[in-house]
Copies of this chain bind each other. A is one copy, B any other.
Amino acid sequence: MFNEITQEEAYNTEHLQRPAKTISMHAESSFKVACSNCNLRELCLPIGLSTDEMKQLDGMVATRKKIKQGGHLYSSGDAFTTLYAIRTGFFKTCVVSEDGREQVTGFQMAGEIVGLDGIVADKHNCNAIALEDAEVCVMPFNHVEDLSREIPVLQRHVHKIMSREIVRENGVMMLLANMRAEERLAAFLLNLLQRLHARGYSKSELILRMTREEIGSYLGMKLETVSRTFSKFSDEGIIEVKQKNVRILDHEKLKTIFNSSTC
């Protein structure tokens, strides 16, 4: 069934990139770190910039950083100095309450920006943890601000990124406050699929990089309920689940579950 899904690092986007040689040069950082060369430039910060503006942007990424699976990109309380653009890999962000309860606040993939939570208090408010080996572009926030003042298109884009996060969280609030387990999981899957699709992946299958517990935390339900709901969808022929592998059999039905209120 799932034999076809063999990608070792499904959310990695290296395969969308230039020839292997260029890639390895990137990795060694002997090659200049540059947005204008990056395969993610249409998903990431540089979106909509002219060639000239892109050149200006190249100074923004100070360096790149590799994070091993399970490693912290930053932790709650850390001094905030930079934003990060994810190049490869997959992250979760989570806040931890005083009494130790963990709440996953989001899952981030290539081209997405993390670290915005740190701006308000000059220190991070959550943990960003790699769910698979990952690489990020380090963008000192001072640079971002300096360049934003010079490139209005970039300024607007930074504002949009923050606004997008606010709107996303509004949606999560709706999810958590109003929806039932099935609707939450359907919304979650549809959201992941849509974002992966924008990155060149299939609309009909995906590999979950996170555990049932992490999904449950994000969606406000227990891991057992996540598992049961997966099984239910499977029984109904909507999806096929085998551990972390999920294949979508009936995309429309999934949408219906997401949108249908009561029933």
Chain B residue nearest to A124 in the complex (CB): B167
Tallying the copies of this chain within the complex gives 2
Q: Contact flags (1/0) for A99-128 with B, using CB distance below 8 Å?
A: 111010100000000001111110001100
Give Cα distance in the complex from A119 to B158, angstroms. 10
**A198 at interface, CB cutoff 8 A:** no
B178 touches A169 (CB 8 A): no
Given contacts A101-B261, A176-B220, A178-B101, contact A155 B166 (CB under 8 A): no
Please give the number of chain A residues whose Cβ is less than 8 angstroms from any Cβ of chain B in the complex: 49
Complex partner residue of A261 from B100, B176, B261, CB under 8 angstroms: B100
A132-167 CB contacts (< 8 Å) to partner B? 145, 148-150, 152, 155-156, 158-167
**A173 at interface, CB cutoff 8 A:** yes
**A97 at interface, CB cutoff 8 A:** yes
B178 touches A117 (CB 8 A): no
Give Cα distance in the complex from A190 to B160, angstroms. 31
Given contacts A103-B173, A178-B97, contact A117 B148 (CB under 8 A): no
Q: Contact flags (1/0) for A160-185 with B, using CB distance below 8 Å?
A: 11111111011111101110000000
Main secondary structure of the interface of A (DSSP, over half): helix
Q: What residues on B are CB-neighbors of A69 within 8 Å? A: none
What's the least CB distance linking A93 to chain B, in Å? 8
B-contacting residues of A (Cβ < 8 Å)? 95, 97-101, 103, 105, 116-121, 125-126, 145, 148-150, 152, 155-156, 158-167, 169-174, 176-178, 217-220, 259-261
Q: A101-B261, A120-B163 are in contact. List 11 more A-B contacts (CB 8 A).
A: A103-B170, A103-B178, A105-B174, A119-B159, A120-B161, A125-B167, A148-B148, A149-B149, A149-B155, A159-B162, A176-B177
Can you give 20 contacting A-B residue pairs, CB < 8 Å? Answer: A101-B174, A101-B261, A103-B178, A105-B174, A116-B163, A119-B160, A119-B163, A120-B163, A120-B164, A121-B167, A125-B170, A145-B159, A158-B159, A162-B166, A169-B170, A169-B172, A169-B173, A176-B220, A177-B217, A177-B219
